[in-house]
Chains A and B, each alone.
Chain A
C-alpha cells in the first residue's frame, strides 16, 4: 500500500505544480489567441455541418456568433487569471470549463482535432488541484509551503492522463487491425494517403515521408516502435527516470510524425505535454535567480 502511495501520491514541491500551471496556462492562452481566427471561423460554416462533440453535445444547433465571441473572451480572460493564479479556486475551474467549451465547439464541425485533447485534460487536472499554492497572485506574501503529497498527486495524475491517452491510441490500433498494424503495409499506406490528401488540397506535404513510401521495409520497424511507445506508456508513472525516458521516446515519436506526415502535434512537440515528468520548478527558480542577480547588481 505504501509503495502504491509513493507512486500515486508522492510528496512534491508546490513550486513544481505552480510551474506546470504557468506552463500549461500560458501555452493554452497563447494557443487560443493564435487560433482565434479558427475559433471564430466556425460561425461561417453552414449549420448542416454541425456535428456536436464534447460539451457542444448540450446544443441542438449552432450558437449565435455573439455567444461564440463571449466564450472565446471568457476563455482568454480566465486563462490569464489561471496562469497568474488569481482567485484560482474560481478561475481555475472556470478556465478549464471555458476551454473545454470553446474547443468542443470548434471541434464540432466534422473534424475533431486530437492535437487539443491532452491540453484540455491537463488543464482540467490542474484546475482540480491546489495549483496556485505557490508562485501565484493568490500566494503572494506567503511563505512557500513544504513539499507535500497534496501537490504530488496532481503532477502524477497529469502524467497518468498523458500515458493513458497514448495507451488508448495503441489499444485502438490493436483492436482495429491486430498486430497486422505492425507487420503489414498499413503505416506506409497511411503516410502515402495522408500526404496525397495534403497535396491534393493545395497544402504542403512531407517530402521525406513521400520519398520513404518507395522503401516499404522501413515501415514495419517504425510501426513496431510507435506501438511499443503507446502500449508501454502507463509504465511511465512507475519511476521518475522511466517517465523521463518514456517522455523522450514519445516526443521523438511526434518528431517522426511531423517529419513523415507533416502533422504538428504542437503541445507535445513544444514539450509542455511532458513537462509533468520533469522537475520543471527548476525553470522558475533559475528565472527568479537571474532576476534577483540583476536587481542586486543594479
Chain B
C-alpha cells in the first residue's frame, strides 16, 4: 500500500482543521469559515429594527415583505434595508420598493412607504406592548398610481 495517500490525508486534515478553527483568532465572520458570531454576544431586550413600512390612506401600517425589498430571504432583506440606510441609499430603496408595491396584490391598498428604524423592547413586544421607544424615519415615498 502506498503511503502517499497518508501524507495527502494528513495535509488535508491539518489544513481543514486549521481553516475551521482559524476564525477564532481574529474573531472574524466569513464564508465558509466563520467564528459563528450570531447569537453569541450578550443581548439586552433592546431590538433595533431596520425595515420598510407601508401605509394605507387610512393610516394602517404594514411592514413590507422581503420580496418588496428585492429578495425572498428575510435576513437578506434586513441587511439590504440596514445597508441602504447606512450607505445613504434609503431614498432609492424606498422608490424601488414602491415600484414593486404598485404591482403587488398583497399590498394593493398601500399608498405610501417609510424606510425607518424602530426600537422596541423585545420582551414587552411579545407580551403585547408593540410601542416603539424610538423611531427614525430615514426616507419617505409615495406609491405611484
Contacts and interface: CB of A to CB of B under 8 A. Distances in A.
5 contacts: A38-B72, A38-B76, A176-B41, A189-B43, A211-B126
B17 A196 contact: no
Interface stretch (A68-76, A167-175, A276-284, A285-293): A167-175
Interface in B21-47: 21, 23-24, 27, 29-45, 47
B63 interface: yes
Among A150, A175, A200, which residue has the most Cβ atoms of chain B within 10 A? A200
A200 B118 contact: yes
B31 A104 contact: yes
Interface of B: 5-6, 8-9, 12-13, 16-17, 20-21, 23-24, 27, 29-45, 47, 49, 51, 62-66, 68-84, 87, 89, 92, 118, 120, 122-123, 125-127
A100 B31 CA distance: 9
A164 B17 contact: yes
Interface of A: 8-9, 37-38, 41, 44-46, 48-49, 53-54, 100, 103-104, 107-114, 116-118, 120-121, 124-125, 128-130, 150, 153-154, 157, 160-161, 164-165, 168-169, 171-173, 175-177, 180-181, 184-190, 192-193, 195-203, 210-211, 213-214
A110 B36 contact: no
A120 B34 contact: no
B75 A176 contact: no
A159 to B, nearest CB: 11
B53 to A, nearest CB: 8
B16 A177 contact: no
A168 B36 CA distance: 7
B140 to A, nearest CB: 18
